[in-house]
Amino acid sequence: MIKYMRYFTLSILMSTAVFTMMLGGYWMLFAGAAGVLIGLGLDNVIGDDLDDPKYTHTWILNVQLFSTLPLLLALTLAFAWQLSSWDFLGLGAAFQFVAGIDPFALRAENQWYHYVMGIFSVGMMFGVAGTNVGHELTHRTWSKPALIVGRWLMAFTSDASFSIEHVYGHHKNIATRHDPATSRRGENVYGFALRSTIGSYRSAWNIEKERLAKFGYSVWGWRSQMMRGNAMTLTYFAAFAYAAGWLGVLVFAVLTVYGKLYLEFVNFVEHYGMVRVTGAPVEPRHSWNCNKRISGILLYNLTRHSHHHAMGEKPFWELRAYPDTPMMPAGYLSMIILALIPPLWNKIMIPRVQDWDRRFAKVEELALIQEANAASGMADSFELKQDEYANGQAVVA
Amino acid sequence: MLAKWLKREPKTVPRISIQPAGIELDVEGKNTILQTALEQGVAFPHNCRVGGCGACKCKLVEGKVKELTDKSYLLSAEEMQQGYILGCQAVPLSDVLIEAPNVVAEGDAVPVKKVGGKIAGLKKLNHDIIELTIALDDTVEYKAGQYADVSVPGVIAEARSYSFAMANRGRPMKLARFHVRLVPGGEFTEWLHNTAETGCVVELEAPYGDFYMRPSDAPILCVAGGSGMAPIKALLEQAAHEELNRDVTYFFGARTQADLYALADMDKIAAKWRARFEFVPVLSDEPADSDWQGLRGFVTEHISALGDRLADQHVYMCGPPPMLDAAIVVCEQGGIASSNIHFDKFLDKSNKVFNLSA
């Protein structure tokens, strides 16, 4: 039973966050504070989860996934209500009717820093709930409802085109130079976030453009998933504009960028320094894995990333722990904070990347490793016989 | 009514026939073609498994499948019209017949065996490449493009990998020929220089590798550098023997004119070839004032110069990793699917080329 129930954690957290968001003031920090306490504190105390349970009632797990969209929408609109100076969508009256608390009086007490806390909370949920569940659902290319819900979830972070680039780009190109979403050796998280954001959008654009061209349609037209995705994001912007005018637009812009950063930070820690020969089958050793129990529960096993990339067709409940893969030393939020301090990140991760070179890399990847090391200034952890590379002409001695 | 119900046949599972390998597989549950093949030990080409790379592309000849993704992301309009599908995204709904030329039947795979032999010839082909001919005690079978591990009993235990440098025309061979590049200080080189002579005993283990010509009508682009000439030469000789009717462009990268070799062999193939055959040496370090009339620079520049023609090519490459890596990138940028790029890196052939320092 617990194996099903535990995945309600995020839904319960979010439902509570919707309620507390309407209380205004410091309560707007609830989701963010809970996220930090659970994802950073508890995660490092609780330890690993190496179980690979079998699920028969997978509909429960689907309910959990699909409930993310209404919950995140409610949380976001509640925050927009806090920003507005009127009863946006009648949410205040509805809340008063249901909870018997006067949110208007509470809202009048809000200070600017309460809104900063609100942004911290909502943006974190854009990342944790929006992009993560959006990722899980947009993988289901065979299911229209899943794709639509997934893309609306991704649109919170202005990233509905993720559904194109991630499946048809990232999963094909992972750990190669062609992948915008694979962080390279020596790269810091800030430069990476920018490169990946721009590169991924451009890649999605090109993939969609090529697809539409096969039918004689333009990527600028209404059939374009790029245009439809942009329209989804504009809808959210419009809601905030309706609620709170230009201030609303500005706040949603901050939220969408901040939420998107979570996705890029996660990309950074999942793929740092990995190398693969273009066209070779993707193996578990080509991504950083994480078996921290709390990270796994909150992120619906996104943490089991080694298996996810090796078998992208599996739903999250079939992902295995794969304890013998390249392993992150801590949970996801801890890794992100590590990444935000590049000297610390390098100190902890470069030895692990070198360990990967020695224990996981295959012979055909050594040349790529040398190239990546040369570009990053990282030392090689192995020696290739110089002869093999004399004047760029390999030799068979 | 009752009789009809009683006569109803038990539910059957869909069956996949893979041609031309002639493999038959029963589908378990709602598995895809790729999952079915891999779970039953059939080496079906794949890479991403989510419908993003096209490595598992195959042609649906008969039957119905449920497709799990919008294949228009991957396949061209013509391919979709011709009934191509993605193996990883196709769940059989009925018995299906698919055409997947890259799937090899297990029976086709020749078992690897050890064969002893004696050196029958040592011939200098240019300043640093020697043609090593070995008379074998027993026959070996291989596909042109594959390689052998060569060792010298009692002298060099650690085997070196060399590609067969001539076509076997489908016959078991009692003669094997390799191109060996000389490296100052190299153990094998020293031995070739100082000790080796006709009659010396050597040992072969073959065949290895999945580098060989795949059936298709597409034009062929070959790229080689150094002794990477060997498997390409074998491939082309074999294809010429089979009277293949496909255009060939073959870029051979070298530093100077002194590095060129096997030119007469290329002329022979060209004379026999039924379609267009272009052998194009490209020199990177030839002195500017020499009498060289041919192309200069790196092969990659000249590959991209093929422009629109590039996307249709099926590529076969062998040579040093830096050159191959660059060429693969150019080919992919030119629109060639990775499943149509076949290569044999020197590094792949020996698993003993690096030392771990820690």
Looking at CA atoms only, how far is residue B191 from chain A in angstroms? 11
Encode pLDDT of B71-100 as tens digits.
Answer: 889 888 888 989 999 999 999 999 999 999
Instruction: Tell me which chain A residue has its CA closest to the CA of residue B343.
Output: A279
**Pairing of the two strands B314-319 and B341-345:** parallel
Encode pLDDT of A223-235 as tens digits.
Answer: 999 999 999 999 9
**Range B6-29 average pLDDT:** 81
Q: Which of residues 133-162 of B touch A (CB under 8 A)?
A: 160-162
Residues in chain A within 8 Å Cβ distance of B188: 396-397
CATH number of B220-347: 3.40.50.80
Encode pLDDT of B266-276 as tens digits.
Answer: 999 999 999 99
Q: Predicted confidence band at B111 (pLDDT cuts at 50, 70, 90)?
A: confident
Chain B contact for A368, CB < 8 A?
yes
Do A385 and B346 count as a contact with CB atoms less than 8 A apart? no
A39: DSSP letter: I
Q: Which of residues 23-62 of A touch B (CB under 8 A)?
A: none
Q: How far is CA A356 from CA A324, A361, A380, B5, in A?
A: 12, 6, 11, 61
Chain A contact for B105, CB < 8 A?
no
Looking at CA atoms only, how far is residue B196 from chain A in angstroms? 15
Q: Cis ω on the peptide bond leading into residue B20 (within 30° of 0)?
A: yes
Do A363 and B353 count as a contact with CB atoms less than 8 A apart? yes
Q: Cis ω on the peptide bond leading into residue B320 (within 30° of 0)?
A: no
* pLDDT for B7: 61
User: What's the CA angle centered on B164, arms B162 and B168, to 5 degrees?
Assistant: 165
Give chain A's largest Cα–Cα span: 84
Q: How far is CA B113 from CA A114, B14, B32, B206, in A?
A: 75, 38, 35, 6
B161: DSSP letter: E
Cα(A282)–Cα(A173) distance, integer angstroms: 9
Do A396 and B161 count as a contact with CB atoms less than 8 A apart? yes
E strands within A242-334?
A: none
Q: Predicted confidence band at A93 (pLDDT cuts at 50, 70, 90)?
A: very high
Cα(A310)–Cα(A296) distance, integer angstroms: 18
pTM listed for this prediction:
0.69
Domain boundaries, chain B: 11-106, 110-208, 220-347
Chain A contact for B64, CB < 8 A?
no
CATH number of B11-106: 3.10.20.30
Question: SS3 letters for B262-283?
Answer: CHHHHHHHHHHCCCCEEEEEEE
Say whether pLDDT at B10 is over 70: no
Please name the residues in contact with A5: beta carbons below 8 A apart, sequence gap of 6 or more.
Answer: none
Looking at CA atoms only, how far is residue B111 from chain A in angstroms? 24
Instruction: Tell me which chain A residue has its CA closest to the CA of residue B161.
Output: A396
* pLDDT for B6: 62
> Positive or negative, the Cα torsion across B49, B50, B55, B59?
positive
Say whether pLDDT at B354 is over 50: no
Superfamily for B110-208? Translation factors (2.40.30.10)
* pLDDT for A34: 97
Query: Residue A85's CB: how many other CB atoms inside 10 A?
Result: 11
Do B322 and A385 count as a contact with CB atoms less than 8 A apart? no
* pLDDT for A253: 98
The answer to whether the beta carbons of residues A112 and A54 sit under 8 Å apart is: no
Higher pLDDT pick, B139 / B209:
B139
Amino acid letter at A225?
Q
Query: Residue A287's CB: how many other CB atoms inside 10 A?
Result: 27
* pLDDT for A241: 98
Q: How many residues does chain A have?
A: 397
The answer to whether the beta carbons of residues B188 and A397 sit under 8 Å apart is: yes
For chains A and B, count residue pairs whose Cβ atoms are closer than 8 Å: 161
Chain B contact for A215, CB < 8 A?
yes
> A47 — phi, psi (to 5°)?
95, -160
Domain boundaries, chain A: 2-346
* pLDDT for B356: 31
A171 closest CB neighbour out of B48, B345, B358: B48
> B253 — phi, psi (to 5°)?
-90, 135
